[in-house]
């Protein structure tokens, strides 16, 4: 079965186009330790455990306030709030908060690489006239854009929407409509490809897009409210659906 009348393909970023090698280690924890190392070199004199606890509490407080509206506060806001809770007066625009975000990306980048089929598939879709974009949930948008460029995806994309830039995250309708508006394509003539049922698939279907779920590992669809129109295991299968 093929999808007809589609003009645009929008993709999730992490674990769809860019893969994160998780292995046996907690990547988030490794990234946070790099953040702490940067802060320690710049005058923050607390233990890692104290900083980590303050950061977790700050993150929880922020998302309790913003969660219902599916807002996406920038990572630097969490860091600055955590530091203020520890008695340090740095706002989200400070060199220290921005440096902490850079430190997070520096460590994360060690584990990120493109899916082997990402660039060939994007090139083939462009050859056939499709408009292509990325819609990603990520609180460090500058870092996401840097990774997109580093791995050669930027030149193949017509729009890039990162939640931390517009303060809205999937499954919020606003983030999908922003990408569709940039491409000047109606939702009914677009397809979304992602790996997460409750954000990628549910969010895209609610705005009227067709959806393709790429299953990474043991994704469970039994309790998913919105079923994808197609399910694939490999990005190459997109070409069989769209071309």
Query: Residue 217: pLDDT above 90?
Result: no
183 in Cβ contact with 159 (< 8 Å): yes
Which whole number is the average pLDDT over 204-229? 85
Confidence of residue 4 (pLDDT cuts 50, 70, 90): very high
Which whole number is the average pLDDT over 189-196? 97
Minimum mean pLDDT range among 49-63, 78-92, 123-137, 215-229: 215-229
The Cα 219–Cα 79 span in angstroms is 32
Which whole number is the average pLDDT over 188-212? 96
Token pair, residue 74, equals: 């920038």
The SS3 assignment for 97 reads: helix
CB-hemisphere CA count at 13 Å for 146? Answer: 13
The Cβ of residue 113 has, within 10 Å, a number of other Cβ atoms equal to 15
CATH topology for 8-17+115-242 is Rossmann fold (3.40.50)
Confidence of residue 147 (pLDDT cuts 50, 70, 90): very high
Which whole number is the average pLDDT over 131-158? 98
Query: Residue 25: pLDDT above 90?
Result: no
Element (H, E) at 130: none
Task: Give the pLDDT confidence score for residue 6 in this predicted structure.
Answer: 98
Query: Residue 218: pLDDT above 80?
Result: no
- Note the pTM of the prediction, 2 decimals: 0.95
Question: What percent of the chain has pLDDT above 90?
Answer: 90
| Helix (H), strand (E), coil (C) string for 52-70 | HHHHHHHHHHHHHHHHHHC
Which whole number is the average pLDDT over 193-214? 96
């Amino acid at each position: 079965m093929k999808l007809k009348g589609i003009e645009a393909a929008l993709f999730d970023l992490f674990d769809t186009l860019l893969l994160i090698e998780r292995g046996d280690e907690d990547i988030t924890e490794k990234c946070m330790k790099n953040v702490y190392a940067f802060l320690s070199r710049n005058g923050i004199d607390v233990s890692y455990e104290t900083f980590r606890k303050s950061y977790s509490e700050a993150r929880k407080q922020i998302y309790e306030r913003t969660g219902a509206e599916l807002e996406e506060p920038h990572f630097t806001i969490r860091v600055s709030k955590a530091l203020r809770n520890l008695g340090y007066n740095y706002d989200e625009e400070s060199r220290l908060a921005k440096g902490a975000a850079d430190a997070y990306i520096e460590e994360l980048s060690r584990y990120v690489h493109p899916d082997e089929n990402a660039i060939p598939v994007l090139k083939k879709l462009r050859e056939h006239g499709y408009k292509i974009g990325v819609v990603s949930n990520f609180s460090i948008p500058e870092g996401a854009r840097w990774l997109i460029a580093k791995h050669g995806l930027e030149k193949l994309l017509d729009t890039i929407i990162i939640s931390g830039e517009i303060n809205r995250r999937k499954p919020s309708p606003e983030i999908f409509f922003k990408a569709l508006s940039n491409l000047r394509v109606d939702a009914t003539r677009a397809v979304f490809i992602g790996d997460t049922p409750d954000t990628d698939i549910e969010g895209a279907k609610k705005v009227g897009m067709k959806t393709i779920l790429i299953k990474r590992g043991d994704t469970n669809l039994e309790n998913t409210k919105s079923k994808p129109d197609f399910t694939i295991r490999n990005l190459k299968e997109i070409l069989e659906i769209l071309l």
